[in-house]
Structure 1
Amino acid sequence: MTAPTVDVHAHLLLPEVESLVDGLPGLAEARALDARRNGPASLAVNGPMVRERMPRMTDAAVRLAAMDAQGVDVQLVSPSPSHYHYWADAETAEKLCRRANEATAAHCATAPDRLRGLGLVPLQHPEQATRALDHALECGLLGVEISSHAPGRELSDPAYEPFWARAAQTGALVFLHPFGCTLDERLDRWYLSNSVGQPTENAVALSHLIFSGVLDRHPDLRLIAAHGGGYLPTHIGRADHAWRARPDAAAGCAHLPSSYLRRLHFDSLVHDPHVLRELVRVAGADRVLLGSDFPFDMGADDPVAALRAAGLPRDAFDAIRGGNAAALLDLTLA
């Protein structure tokens, strides 16, 4: 049996979510922060880019045709990170996540053999996160998508312990996908907000999970890091050195930081075959999954070709192309 080709990094736009927050206090401030972080030149490109790709993110038939053109059999669909809205109050956040979960499930239900989905949880209200995760699972989704932090909270915050425990207990997938970088205006030119900001946020968030002991306390957690985990996998040697050399670095986690990479999953979207080979070396071929960031311009239009360019052994190529994801998503092999 041949495993299907599975893309675990594909996005959905949800007008239902945006209509809920439209005009609410806090939205204008959040948009202003996003504008400062990206800068005017990037914003001028972003608008037309998203509009041109809108049908692929809202119309399931258009999505499926694009998948056929890419040679992708199954997508794991997650809401666009622009829908996080971590500024929202508790009542709005609960409504937002429920609406996002239900709309994502409805989109995937149009082609249940080819689309699987992830929902949202309100990281800014940790007391709601477990309930939102349960709702996503009740909707038939496989888990949830989260950012690298919430305002005033890192993923190592003890307030998230019930969420991590529930995700591990249920086997839910947690897709770590940053939105925005706290380096703010330092990255407001040349689209550094994305090209530097995203891999930075991935590295910081994963480091918090490793060094705080979250992964020690929840060894069954099934977490997928977008963008190949950012800078961390290729610079994990520095983390290992700190863990060996300094008692403050080693205080929170039981094992060498690099060992935790083999407990996580990573998508293949690193834009460089040499970096992809290094990711496979440090994390293991069984921990890397095909990812495209469909259909954004920072994604891979042909993710299978990008994977093939790494020149991996055939068994590793097949595992990353779909075998690993088929097992993780519990897909029936054809």
Structure 2
Amino acid sequence: MTAPAPHPAAAGRRTGAAPTVDVHAHVLLPEIDALVAGLPGHAEARELDARRNGPAALAVNGPMVRERVPRMTDPAVRLAAMDAQGVDVQLVSPSPSHYHYWADEDTAGKVCRLANEATAAHCASAPGRLRGLGLVPLQHPQHMVSALDHALEQGLAGVEISSHAPGRELSDPAYEPFWARAAQTGAVVFLHPFGCTLDERLDRWYLSNTVGQPTENAVALSHLIFSGVLDRHPLKLIAAHGGGYLPTHIGRSDHAWSARSDAGAGCAQLPSSYLKRLYFDSLVHDPHVLRELVRVAGADRVLLGSDYPFDMGADDPVAALRAARLSEDDLDAVRGRNASALLDLTHA
């Protein structure tokens, strides 16, 4: 097979600059699908997902995912795609379809262990270019610390979570031990929603994704901010999809915090100040929004993200970043310098 032509952005590594790092890329783990198939609760979860997305979206999703399976399972295909994009390093996380927050304690434990081990094995095929994230059972807070520790033991950088679990928001006090352990260990926590609780209101025109994902990001981050979680725990938390609607509408949160005693009761500072304690990927699909994200969060808090290899991602994430017309220093920070420091790639 002919090697792909080098992408212009790949020059970063050759010139001694920080590598280009994509922090939002997924791996598909057929072992997990086989594990949960036919278990009580699985069919109901699939039915809920179908209602939330609607038949038209499902008709597109199926072929789209099947066509991309090699890109998510074969490391050689992944590395070739990275070369074509000019990406030196990917932070690989399980497809959010593997969360399975419906599962009982025993099944959830098996899912997380398998996800951690299989993701680590996938990344071990190219240890200088692939870093990985595992899973924790968000529906069983009492087991999240042990699942996080297991992920770190596999050599993973941290774990991926959704915006909520059934009946629990991320502000739930039951999650305090997990946040404390993540802060203590320096583990990366990648906040990537899967499913939106607006349910059938978003079941047409792929609103379940285009409106649902940024909504879930904004809700989840607001729970972390207003509850004081970020006051208590210095987390390495990356929000997918640029943090959704929150960064560009944070002024409304600041106003409520200042004007209302109920809004300001849980966190110590203006909500907008917490954006500088979080990390955000660059996947916002609009150069003007990306510039605003850099303005409100800081260029040191935005990381390159592609959502590889899904159709809602960026096929050329570096070109999407350049379209924002950032200063060269800010562009280099987002392109890879920030993620290199966050993931300690110099010692990987």
User: Matches of 1:266 and 1:104 in 2, distance apart?
Assistant: 22
Q: Please state if 1:186 is matched with 2:186.
A: no
Structure 1 residue aligned with 2:323: 309
User: What's the CA shift for 1:333?
Assistant: 8.7
Q: Per-residue displacement from partner, 1:288-332 (whole Å, max 9, x unpaired)?
A: 000000000000000000000000000000000000000001012
Q: What SS class does the counterpart of residue 332 from structure 1 fall into?
A: helix
How do residues 167-206 of structure 1 correspond to structure 2 at under 5 angstroms? 167-206=182-221
Q: Per-residue displacement from partner, 1:37-89 (whole Å, max 9, x unpaired)?
A: 00000000000000011000000000000000100000000000000000000
How do residues 172-321 of structure 1 correspond to structure 2 at under 5 angstroms? 172-218=187-233, 220-321=234-335
Q: Per-residue displacement from partner, 1:87-115 (whole Å, max 9, x unpaired)?
A: 00000000110000000000000000000
What letter matches 2:203 in structure 1? D
User: Matches of 2:17 and 2:290 in 1, distance apart?
Assistant: 23
User: Matches of 2:141 and 2:345 in 1, distance apart?
Assistant: 31
Structure 2 residue aligned with 1:147: 162
How do residues 65-104 of structure 1 correspond to structure 2 at under 5 angstroms? 65-104=80-119
- TM-score, normalised to structure 2's length? 0.95
Structure 1 residue aligned with 2:138: 123
Residue 164 of structure 1 contacts residue 221 of structure 1 at CA under 8 Å; is this kept in 2?
yes
Q: What SS class does the counterpart of residue 90 from structure 2 fall into?
A: strand
Which blocks of at least 5 consecutive residues in structure 2 are unaligned?
1-15
Which blocks of at least 5 consecutive residues in structure 1 are unaligned?
none
What letter matches 2:204 in structure 1? R
Structure 2 residue aligned with 1:111: 126
Structure 2 residue aligned with 1:18: 33
Residue 2 of structure 1 contacts residue 333 of structure 1 at CA under 8 Å; is this kept in 2?
no
Q: Please state if 1:62 is matched with 2:86.
A: no
Q: What SS class does the counterpart of residue 20 from structure 1 fall into?
A: helix
User: Matches of 1:178 and 1:299 in 2, distance apart?
Assistant: 15
Q: Please state if 1:322 is matched with 2:322.
A: no
What letter matches 2:213 in structure 1? Q
What letter matches 1:158 in structure 2? P
What letter matches 2:106 in structure 1? E
User: What's the CA shift for 1:120?
Assistant: 0.1
Residue 4 of structure 1 contacts residue 333 of structure 1 at CA under 8 Å; is this kept in 2?
no
Q: Please state if 1:162 is matched with 2:174.
A: no
User: Matches of 1:53 and 1:300 in 2, distance apart?
Assistant: 14
What letter matches 1:325 in structure 2? A
User: Matches of 1:221 and 1:265 in 2, distance apart?
Assistant: 10
Query: Which residue among 44, 50, 60 is the counterpart of 1:45?
Result: 60
Residue 3 of structure 1 contacts residue 333 of structure 1 at CA under 8 Å; is this kept in 2?
no
User: Matches of 2:88 and 2:347 in 1, distance apart?
Assistant: 11
- TM-score, normalised to structure 1's length? 0.99
User: Matches of 2:58 and 2:140 in 1, distance apart?
Assistant: 29
